[in-house]
Structure 1
Amino acid sequence: MKDLRTSLKLTFAALVACLLTTGLLYSVFDGNEWFARSAGAVVLVAGIGALCRATLLIPALLVPLIQAAAVLVYVSPTYASDDANSGWLPGRAALDTLRDRLDAGFTEIDTVTPPLTPSEQVTLVVVVGVALMAILVDLLAAGLRQTALAGLPLLVLYVVPAAVLPNGMDGALFLLPAGGYLLLLITDSRERLLRWGVAVSGRGGEARTTRSAGELGQMTRRIGVTVLSMSIVIPALAPRLSDGAFGAGGIGNDPDGGGTISTLNPLVSMRRDLVRPQDLDLMTVRTNSLDAGELYLRAVTLDTFDGEEWRAGRREVRRFDANLPDPKAGLSDTVPNVPVETSVQVLGNLQSDYVPMPFPATRLEIEGGWRVDPLTNNVVSHNGPEQITGMTYSVDSVDLDPRPTDVTAALSIDPYLAPYLELPEDLPQRVKDLAERVTKGTDTILARAIALQQWFRDPDEFAYDLRQRPGTGKDAILAFLEDRRGYCEQFASTMAVMARHLKIPARVNVGFTPGSPNPDGTRTVSAHDAHAWPELWMPGVGWTRFEPTPGSAASNPDVPNWLSPKPPDGQTGGNEGENETEATPSPEPPTGATAPPDPATVNPGLEGVLPLPAEDTCLPPKYVDAKTDECRDPLDPWYQRWWKAGATGGLLLLLLLVPPLARVAVRRRRWALVGTPGAAGATGPAAEWTWVELRDSAIDLGYIWPEARTPRQTSAELAGDGKLGPNSSDALAMITQFVERVRYAPGDAVSPGRDQLRGAVDEVRRDLGNTAGRKRRIQALLWPRSLGTLLGRVAMQTRTKSVAARQSVLRTLRLRRA
């Protein structure tokens, strides 16, 4: 029994250690569903392990196989329900599906840099990985009693986030697995200490069999100090793949004015570049673009505004093989575009996590470890900001030559664009009022954007001033609108916020203006060319650079040719040789109950709505079947898909409980009959039911009970070889004498009473169980053998009675015929 308690304690400690270590993955994955599913797998593994070890029917090394099978059944309803038998039982098809989804998950993990929101495939990989860790920890700690080695699977799971996170992992998080490991060691060491034989006290050599609280406390403190010391050393030794990609982000310079540009906050670093007394050459650019003066080099995109600042949102970057994700989203086929090749030589003064390059870029050839964000096409270093220093890379991009008529009048806000309209609820009303006043009278999205741009560039309204305090939050924007003085940080961030209020998707870019031309046809980009500008989404053109910063800035920013304001007197503007003016707004869709708006468009009057997907699209919550490429309806939540498995598991549990519950019912029924008057008075049934319960208790524990022996012979067999202690021997003698008197001298028999008889049987059963061992005790509890004997007797009695009844009926029929 002590071994069973120790095993259960270690199983629980292993369970807690695995859950704490799994919590480390919150630094890698967003959401909670992956943790809930992983925790379910850990609990399942612990439960199966405890059950197998409690029964002792299975060797310790086979328990992991049963646990693995249970995990397979656990994941099938969630990840392979369409191919599983009855929706939950894994078969060949389900195994193939699980294998395919695991392969897809590993591929996605191999191409995405954390932190990320895990897909179903990635979640499956996490659940299986955590379950494997739990199986190993359970085997080592509770199965083989090697708790020191059980820390290795925990350490492996810790090293995973520590190695893959761009900035490594906070060493304080190591306290989670360290705490779980500490619990394992303390639990095991305490049990071992209590079993280290007889301890001799210092006074008179008096023996004692238990350890003092002081010894246990000293042991616990030693283990705690050791493990917590490891929590300081191991994080320092854990490998890291880089010094950070998104963690710092941006382009900056050494605050001491030295010759090295370092990576800090993009906007803060940009200002340091602009105000540095001595300019530094950073890059030499060679391009075949016919309009190199508009070849801005975009480095990082700030797409999230939370009211406090503009910042880069959480990215899920991926590896790429020179070809970049299609950057021309939203671009109409009618917009002229010319391929451009650009070569950039980075000088020794620049360090950056991001690759400055033209937009839209289609291909990047660069050496080293780099990742791309598919949403923004920002390319980031996976090996730290020093990787780009002294490097030469080539970029293929396109020069767009749109016209105002290429901008469609209607804007469709799909799930991709929706985040670029988000604003804090407490945006100052002053900002909203100014945005609406400046754009009053405009009737197209392009007209509103140009109106904002020209308002900021109007020298009678705003002045360029580097002395303005930095900041992009709502308070800084409000102060900028009051003072009307600032630099590109304020101009870009404020225009982007106003554009979002006007239902124009917007974001902020940080990078460099084209720099200064050289006699050899190249251009030199310096620290003073650092710049920030807004990008607004124009229907038919896609992401478009606007330039609200006045041209008096040191970086010499200029408005794109086609976005110049319309010249007076009906002259043409924008592209040379073109007479097109601003896009004429298309008729607005009718309103009213009889004519609902077209779900695929949005009223250009700024009433943004989400469009209904076309019939041939497969947008969430629908999903594409990886095996058939068909669009399927969304699956029920994973916990709803478990109802069949849960119902089946509950039924199996009930079936397993039938034998022990039946045994309990039989025992209670027998004791209820003790004392009932019978043929031999009150003592007859009491003696026989007591003897039957003692017999079945012995049979349950695996003892042989020959029916031909007398009570005294049976008693001698049970008490032989030291099976019983003094108390239980006396109890057995009392029961035997009582049964013998009832059977052989009923007139002299006196019943000891039901409680005394029941206590005597319990006393004998307890010692018989201790002698038989834990395995027999568990078997007696879960699968009592006496039920089989009882059912056999009932069947025999039923058969005897049926035969007797049949013979009686036959005799009656013969008599009637006679």
Structure 2
Amino acid sequence: MSSGERRPVRRGDLTLAIGCLLALLVTVLPLLRVVTPGPWLGGTVVLMTALLATGYIARRLRLPAVAVSLAEAALWLVFMSAVFLGSVSLLGFIPTVSSVQAVPVFIEAAMDAIYHGVAPMEATEPLAFLIMGATGLLTIAVDHVVITARMPLLAAIALVMVSLIPAIAVPVEPDILAFVLLAACILFLVRAETQSRDPSPARGGESAPAAVPLAGVTATAVGIGAVAVVVALVVTPTLPQPVLRAGSNPFGTGVGLDASLELGDDLRRPREIEIMRIHSSAPSPPYLRATTLSDFDGEVWNPDISRSIPLDSPSEFGDVSVAEGIRVDEYVTTVEVENLSSTWLPVSYPAVTVTGLVGQWAAVPWNRTVVARAGSSQGETYQVTTHVPRPTLEQIRAAEAVWPGLPNDTTSLPDGVPAIVGQLARQVTADAFTDYDKLAALQAWFRGTDFRYSLSAPVDAGFDGSGAEAIAQFLEVREGYCIHFASAFAMMARELGMPSRIVVGFLPGSSTTEVIDGETVHSITTSRTHSWPEVYFEGIGWVAFEPTNSLGSPTAFSSATSDPLAGIPGVTASAQASASATPTAGERPQDLGQDQTGSASGPLTASGEGWPPAAVALVIAALLTLPAVAREIRRRGRLAQAAEGDAGAAWALVQDTAIDLGIPVPPAETPRALGERLVARYGAPPEVMGQLVNAIERAAYAPSRAQYWEGDVLPGAAIAVRAALMAQVPVSRRALAVIAPRSLIVRPGTAYAAARPSRA
């Protein structure tokens, strides 16, 4: 039938329309995990219902298929114009040129909210416009494909893809309930569409046969659904989750790393994703760096651009040079990248060799980092050897934070830096005499009670950046996260005449129960993305500090009279001689499940964690009993129908029992022929089988069923036949018939019922 011809009214249109509405509602359900519920939800439901109702009415009026879709499209335009563009629409609901021009503005604002938003996002008007508009168009498409074209499986593909969008955009645990409901809706559509094409009269009519063959559609649909469930619950969680991030492979898999100090989106991920696993010979797991930022133009800190040489060249990094008398310790750290796609390789500092990499990599001697010439860090496993200077407290106090050979990028500040930066730097360090003591005082001040770690405050107050003006606001509000603490510290160091830079990388991971070569394996997740400042000391090198409040370990050095181990972030000396470095280190607030005000901060399930084994076993056991429970419920229902004189229900019980036991029930076999075969070959009692056969034949062919009412004998006869058939098969087949009854998905008279399964 061409799209312009008047279409006949077909059976099942109302059922299919209801099925489409249910499937669309379930498809939208995952959105509630990433967008705060609000008026958009009610509007979406109203729009989908109105569109499907319009389509149903248009078909009842026998309009051509193209007219049905046009009527739905017109309703969609009017609805969207009235709800969102009424001020620029004719009469408040008729689209105009101005309303059309406003659409790109809405879409751009919505996409910007999605890219920069944090789940669960607030449903702003542009975001609601995008959601409702898209679901409306999806409704029109599904209505046409399912009801007009009668291709529900094709529509199912679109529904599944749309339902997966929230999980792809915001990696979270699978929404099992939404998936199961969507699978049920899709199977319902398949079943309803098949029934609408079946020409047989309804069951229970005067001339209705005992069973209506449906060519195995139910079995096929449920089989497809079962495979989909297995794939979704077993295979999908093992796949890497695609995430689009700046500074990484934009079309590959794995989490990216933004090296421009715009780490807020990485830190605000609603679910932690494990990206690396490391183990090290160091006293405690080291910080890992990706790159450094020295050039500050007042607005942004720019990654260092420096000479690189092939990683396998003899002079890749060069030796670590320190003043005489300063101890240097060697450590080896093994890194296994599991879900990080970045051109910068995470390495411990200061690296002297990196081995085990695959592909083309280059070393950057200036900051001892590694960058890819081709490819990314995804899937790499490598070893980093570091030579770590360990000055004593006396040695670092004697050293000056200066190096005449350093480029101006590490010491200069642009014009127009707010005065508060320099004023506070001098105020906080007024009582310190050495360069190290001044920096230790700054570190202690940031880590003290005046400041608070917060991922949300910079966004709410509008200074979520690392520019000079943003840092000035941070110093007033005194709430922020690592980029604000690191930027403020680096700028204050430069105000005091000391060379500084910022490092982008990762905090030490959390320990696991796994041990390799006597070294505990640590897991690094997305929430460990971090930035910290470094200051250069003559004769020692770049020394890292940890000013971020409530995070990591502060830098501290021990006196030569105590433990000579010197601290860098992640390595705390056993005795701290400087009171300025004593603030208690702690976990990142969101790692503990609360921010510092005590409010919940979102899902805490670490990658690889899940339900307890006992709970999993109980769930599996419950799922395994579902087929038996469903079969028993249906058996009892049919017995009740048989007790009311329904011979078809009693005969269906016999057919179901045969199918459960693997006895063929072919479509061409009459009830009498099947009954005789069950008596002769499978031990069914002849007398009660004869009662059932006579009853089903009278129900199908007698002019009046009322005079042959047999409700008092039919249930008992069906039970007796079932018991006799069960007694003739092996125990294994009997148990399988109870635990996994085939009759739930295989209908009598279908090709599936005619074939005998392999015996257990």
Give me the TM-score of the superposition, normalised by structure 1. Answer: 0.36
Give me the TM-score of the superposition, normalised by structure 2. Answer: 0.39
